[in-house]
Structure 1
Amino acid sequence: MTATDRPRAPRRRVPRARVPRAWVPNQHGAWAMVVAPPVVGALLAGPRGLHALLLAAWLAAYCAYFALTQWLRSGRRRRYRDPVLGYGVATAVLGLPLVAAQPALLRWAPAFALLLGASLRYAARRADRSYGNDLVTIAAAALMTVVAAGLLDRPEGWWPPGADDPRAWTAAGLLAAYLVGTVPYVKSMIRERGRPATARLSAGYHAALLAGAVVLAAAGRPAGVAGVALVVVAAGLLARAVLLPRRGRVRPAVVGAGEVVATLAVTAVTLAAV
């Protein structure tokens, strides 16, 4: 037998290093909810380097929040302690220069502390998947639109930066209206798939959303192409809410990818509308 005829020894497969699950938020569609508001706010203000720092700090804070909720709902398991500490330190490292550059940002702290406290209370009761907690987290995310829009402001008195900007509040309202609809829709696709009541709630909410878009467009707010686009996107969201739950089981990653696409469309319309 020649050297070329000898059977080759099987290659040993070296397992790839994986990031522990405790460090990676597993809510695929949540990334769109977290990223869109500060990006919209930055685009309204005119993006600067400080906006990139704000986004980085916000993402670190979201990861810290997610790890903290998992730690609470798991009965304070040790596996979640390191992510809580790690992301907490990252948030502080990114947040301190941000506050140093814009100290007035601290005026938003009471609002976010109130929302965070309410959400952590849900998590401690293992109710972090509830509708109430979803609304709390959406409120916090949408508020970041106003925070980002006013990041470069130097407000007088005790007003938080951006709080007096009607365009920012309008954009935050449009994003919040969309994000609220994602709650029953995603539940109808995953956790509450097959429950007619959830599917009806999702369809009914999106029908009301379309009706509101038609009324706004008819009133000229927004006018022209932006008004038409608002109605078209709302109609697409309604069609999605009615048709997709009937297709049966869909992988959560696919649902999350669809949320990213829908969020991009809503983001574009929001910027055009305000």
Structure 2
Amino acid sequence: MKWMIPTQHGAWSMLILPFVLGGMVGGWTWTHVPFAIAWLFVYMGTFFLFQYIKQRKKSRDLLRTVMIYLIIAIVAIVPVFLVEWRLIWFAAAMIPFGLVNAYFAKVKDERNVWNDVSAVTSFCIGGMASYYLGARLLDATIVWIFALPFLYFMGSIFFVKTMIREKKSIVYRNLSWGYHILLFIVFIVLGYPLLALAYAPSLIRAVWFYGKTIPIMKIGIVEIANSIFVLTCLTTYLLI
């Protein structure tokens, strides 16, 4: 088999931010270690599974990689389920969204915005699971753990579309700018200045970068830096 790592910068932010946010707010436990391993290999396994699905000529090496990654994930998650079996409900909640991603891989339409939305939803459910593993609570905070990263990544989806696939689309430009402006205004009006601050750099980069030719690598670096800032603000808000 070949040991391969996905190279999508945005997806790595989506994988890590909700998980870390959930652990920071809910409290870290030793079970987060095997859970993190399982979470990582589920992501890598499903990523390459979708690559395999869309191949016309199926690669046995790729399939072996998928199987090994998913086996590692299963082995890692067993002790977590033994400690807290209720996490299985979070896993079950991700399945429909995984099937949506598999469908778009099958029809070779992975750039479809609904494919992105489905992936973001799965990652944010993972953040809820990370929170629950530490807090053992289904409360209002777990809703924030899902919603706040989801709102951020939705903006990232629209922004990246305007920078790469939909550079000349006025519709996506207006959607990106309008979404970020509305998100900022809503949090200001509702009296959440720290949350407004969390999303402010996203608004600035959506407007400032539009129409400029920026290498994909640089866009990825900016998104990673922005994700760290957002994570810091969201964690601070949820802990105070």
Give your verdict on TM over 0.5: yes
Separation in structure 1 between the aligned mates of residue 154 and residue 221 of structure 2, nearest angstrom: 18
Greater shift in the superposed pair: 187-196 or 29-38: 187-196
Structure 2 counterpart of 1:77, one-letter code:
K
How many residue pairs align between the two structures? Answer: 237
Instruction: Please state how far the C-alpha of 1:62 moved relative to its aligned partner.
Output: 0.4
The structure with higher relative contact order (CA 8 Å, sep 6+) is 2
Q: Gaps spanning 5+ residues in structure 1: where?
A: 1-18, 154-160
Correspondence for 1:245: 210
Cα 1:230–1:107 change in 2 (3 A) is closer
Runs ≥4 residues deviating over 4 A: none
Q: Following TM superposition, by how much is the alpha carbon of 1:101 offset from its aligned partner in structure 2, in angstroms?
A: 2.2
- 1:168 equivalent to 2:107? Answer no
Larger radius of gyration: 1
Instruction: Please say if residues 198 and 234 of structure 2, whose CA atoms lie closer than 8 Å, have aligned partners that are also in contact.
Output: no
Instruction: Name the counterpart of 1:232.
Output: 197
Report the Cα distance in structure 2 between the residues aligned to 1:53 and 1:187, rounded to whole angstroms: 35
Residue 61 of structure 1 aligns with an amino acid whose one-letter code is V
Same amino acid, percent of matched pairs: 24
Alignment-derived partner of residue 12 in structure 1: none
Q: Aligned-pair distance for 1:152?
A: 4.1
Q: 5+ residue gaps in structure 2?
A: none
Match of 1:268 among 219, 227, 232: 232
Whether the 8 Å contact between 1:102 and 1:152 is mirrored in structure 2 is no
1:142 Cα deviation after fit: 0.9
Whether contact under 8 Å (1:29, 1:257) holds in the other structure is no
Tell me, in whole angstroms, the C-alpha distance in 1 between the residues paired with 2:27 and 2:130: 10
Write the mapping of 1:103-142 to structure 2, written as runs, cut at 5 A: 103-142=85-124
Q: 1:173: Cα distance to partner? A: 0.7
Higher fraction of helix? 2
The alpha-carbon deviation at position 125 of structure 1 amounts to 1.4
The answer as to 2:165 corresponding to 1:191 is yes
Q: Alpha-carbon deviation of 1:138?
A: 0.7
When the two structures are superposed, what TM-score results if normalisation uses the length of structure 2?
0.91
**For residues 185 and 153 of structure 2, what CA distance do their matches in structure 1 show?**
17
In structure 2, distance between residues paired with 1:111 and 1:232: 31
1:17-45 per-position Cα deviation (integer Å, ceiling 9, x unaligned): xx96x822121121011001111111112
Amino acid aligned to 1:27: Q
